[in-house]
Amino acid sequence: MKTPPLLLGLTLLFWGWQSGYLLAAALMAALLESSRLIAARWVFSDQDFDRLGDFGAVLFLGAALYAFTSNQGPSAFMELLQSPAGLAGQKGAIDQTLRATLVFTRWLPMIFFPFMAAQAFSQRDKIGLSAFSWLLRRRGKHRPNAKSTRRILNVSHPYFAVCLASACIGRPENAWFYPVLCVILAWAMWPERSPRFAIPVWAASALAAAVLGYAGQRGLYQLHGAVQSYYPEWLSNLMRREFDPKESRTSLGHIGRLKRSAGIVLRVTPGNGQRAPSLLRQASYRAFRSPTWFGAGADKDFEIVPPEPNESTWWLLRQKPTTADARIAGFLNGGHGLLALPNGTARLENLPVSVLKTNRLGTVRVDSGPGLVIFDAHYGPGATIDSPPGAEDLQVPEKESAAVSRIASELGLAGQTPTQTLRTLAAFFQDKCRYSVWRPVSQPTETNQTPLASFLLRERAGHCEYFATATVLLLREAGIPARYAVGYAVQEKTATGFIVRERHAHAWCLVHRDGAWHDFDTTPASWFDVESANASGFELLSDAWSRLWFEFTKLRYGQSGLRAYVWWLVLPGLILALGQFLLRKQWRRSRHDPNTSASALALPGMDSEFYLIERALADQGLGRQRSETAGCWLRRARTGAPVPAKLQAPLARILRLHYQYRFDPRGLSSAERKALRAEAASCLAALRRKP
């Protein structure tokens, strides 16, 4: 059963309109529909269709690999097998998997087009199922007489269904989508309408079905929109957080050496000809109660950032010009965590996450994403996503007030301009203090003296948390709004960029001046050398292992750039399969005979020239009986009829080749097929010359 005229062409144009491949769809539609006007046909054997199937299989696998090596890659499928407790993490896996599936489904009409074109220009209107299954081919070699190996299929209706599904796979945004869809479906059903009902009755029934379908479609669409606007918040409430932007517990007052790991947590590559950002902030805080800084109050302080239509670009500050960019690669534990970003980041690109949120203190949080993200951060001086300064940004805790006031008085901060105050504090911490990862055991002169007061008044040696906290409180004492920030320092350069280790975790100050928040780091520059001096001798070995694990994780989460090489891997297979189809062909050009039975042409060997000889002898009164085999009939024709003796040997050879062509699963080679044509043509010429 074939599809109605022009149905496939119209469906292909509909698919091209919806998928954005309109030019390709127009060319494919014109080629298929031209087969109804062009009389030329090609005679394909089962082996030809099998080789075409090999080409289609390689193309199918290559397209699937290309589609699913984006975003989360293979890991998205593994995350779908997790327990329901990981529902929030699975949401991101489902999103990424669906995105790749939708892209791949839209390519299916192009992938299966060679089969449809081959059938359209073939004398056979059906293709053996072995062309679509290596298993059936293998079974056919061992069981050549099995019915399952000779099953055939007209692919026009399955191809129509594939094109229609691919066209409908995206969200219909155009008002003409549904009317055009109804027209296509009505056209497809028209030849199969029941003759018992009049045309007006059939048309009214089709129209009623279309109206009811439209109402159901709109209802489902509205339900989908309601669920989509609700579930990010619902899912985020189920998540277990590895990082807490609400508070930062410092090590102020701890005794002993602060042990830091050399594990690599971030990889940073600045833009061409640009400097890497010196600091990457993860969170900032406002209120200090020793030894803890407190920030955002609750999850309600976070707001969802809507993505751009490409679902990988996120604007944090629209309309803000940027002057620099950096590629940042980092891990997200369980698919969620805080992003480490340069100050003044306005836009994130190539970030394949599902839910992104920000709070009023400049924290950017991923609530659903892959285990590894590699994205581009575009940033520049000026505005940030932090909220304007408030009264809390000028408060100095009562317990720290005495020590902070004393140092501020010694430095003469009162009356200085903000720029002078920053210079004074930078010089004080650089010249009068030193960085140390060791907290010695000492007795304060006052029993109620806090660790920060001890640092400012007596020891003046400590790690970055001391410097950052002291700087924030001294700025506030001078009347300048300030906040406490945590993140990482970017200082260790490699051949390809910068690496950030766990021991590079850092704390510094955010100061508000000139209408914007700026990084202000007063920790002595020697801190990096002090930390590096404690590096293990096995660090090179651990770095090598970290690199291998990073590359493996890139492949696992679809961040390896494998898509750029997929077609180079698939191309040899495509060339080999196409070469098999072209070089080992058994097909030839023929002319379409409308009187030829399509079902007969669907059987292998039914285009054998032996049937022309049979027809020629039947015209001379030597017809073959209904139950008579070809061999018995030919013996009878040789013995009981005046068949020239010189034709008996050629007829025997023709019959042998015919049987092999008709019943042998391997068919005929190209040379044998030519021999059958030549022998048959010679015999036919001799029979016509017979008086």
The residue behind tokens 């079905």 is 209
Residue 99 lies in a domain: no
Residue 128 lies in a domain: no
User: Which of 556, 589, 623 is the C-terminal boundary of a domain?
Assistant: 556
**Is the confidence at residue 374, as pLDDT, over 60?**
yes
Residue 179 lies in a domain: no
pTM: 0.55
**Is the confidence at residue 232, as pLDDT, over 50?**
no
User: Which residue did the predictor score with more confidence, 374 or 73?
Assistant: 374
Q: Nearest-CA neighbor of 482 among 370, 617, 618, 386?
A: 386
Q: Nearest-CA neighbor of 502 among 330, 358, 374?
A: 330
Which CA distances in Å does 673 have to 131, 484, 586, 603, 661?
21, 85, 8, 17, 8
618 shares its domain with 545:
no
**Model confidence at 643, in pLDDT bands (50, 70, 90)?**
low
**Window from 262-266, 308-312, 437-441 with minimum mean pLDDT:** 437-441
Distance CA 284, CA 266 (A): 19
Residue 350 lies in a domain: yes
Establish whether the linkage from the previous residue to 307 is cis, with ω within 30° of 0.
no
Q: Nearest-CA neighbor of 517 among 474, 475, 458, 561?
A: 475
The pLDDT of residue 237: 35
536 shares its domain with 671:
no
Q: What would the pLDDT profile of 315-330 be if each residue is shown by its tens digit?
A: 999 989 999 999 999 8
User: Which residue did the predictor score with more confidence, 430 or 38?
Assistant: 430
Q: Is the distance from CB of 479 to CB of 494 less than 8 angstroms?
A: no
The pLDDT of residue 339: 94
Residue 590 lies in a domain: no
The pLDDT of residue 193: 74
322 shares its domain with 403:
yes
User: Which residue did the predictor score with more confidence, 126 or 259?
Assistant: 126
457 shares its domain with 543:
yes
476 shares its domain with 614:
no
Distance CA 402, CA 408 (A): 10
Distance CA 389, CA 395 (A): 11
Which span out of 335-339, 410-414, 607-611, 650-654 was modeled with the highest average pLDDT? 410-414
280 shares its domain with 427:
yes
User: Which residue did the predictor score with more confidence, 140 or 193?
Assistant: 193
The pLDDT of residue 157: 85
The pLDDT of residue 205: 84
The pLDDT of residue 341: 96
Write out the DSSP string of 90-151: HHHHHHHHHHHHHHHHHHHHHHSHHHHHHHHTBS-S-EEGGGG-HHHHHHHHH-TT-GGGG-
Q: What is the mean pLDDT of the chain?
A: 78
Neighbours of 619 (CB within 10 A): 10
551 shares its domain with 613:
no
Residue 100 lies in a domain: no
Tokens of 138: 């293998």
Residue 133 lies in a domain: no
271 shares its domain with 403:
yes
**Window from 17-21, 219-223, 544-548 with minimum mean pLDDT:** 219-223
Q: What would the pLDDT profile of 570-612 be if each residue is shown by its tens digit?
A: 677 767 766 666 665 554 555 445 444 444 444 567 778 888 8
**Model confidence at 290, in pLDDT bands (50, 70, 90)?**
confident
Q: Is the distance from CB of 252 to CB of 397 less than 8 angstroms?
A: no
Neighbours of 117 (CB within 10 A): 16
Q: Report the percent of the chain where pLDDT is more than 70.
A: 75
Distance CA 164, CA 25 (A): 13
Write out the DSSP string of 192-245: G--TTS-HHHHHHHHHHHHHHHHHHHHHHHHHHHHHHHHHHHHHHTTPPPSS-T
* Mean pLDDT in residue range 349-377: 90
Q: Structural domain of residue 654, as residue ranges? A: 608-689
User: Which residue did the predictor score with more confidence, 557 or 62?
Assistant: 62
The pLDDT of residue 394: 95
The pLDDT of residue 603: 57
Domain count, the chain: 2
The pLDDT of residue 581: 61
**Is the confidence at residue 486, as pLDDT, over 60?**
yes
548 shares its domain with 621:
no
Distance CA 612, CA 614 (A): 5
**Is the confidence at residue 455, as pLDDT, over 80?**
yes
Residue 257 lies in a domain: yes
User: Which residue did the predictor score with more confidence, 433 or 605?
Assistant: 433
216 Cβ partners below 8 Å, 6+ apart? none
650 shares its domain with 545:
no
Q: Is the distance from CB of 581 to CB of 50 less than 8 angstroms?
A: no
User: Which of 527, 556, 585 is the C-terminal boundary of a domain?
Assistant: 556
509 shares its domain with 648:
no
**Is the confidence at residue 413, as pLDDT, over 70?**
yes
508 shares its domain with 637:
no
The pLDDT of residue 83: 41
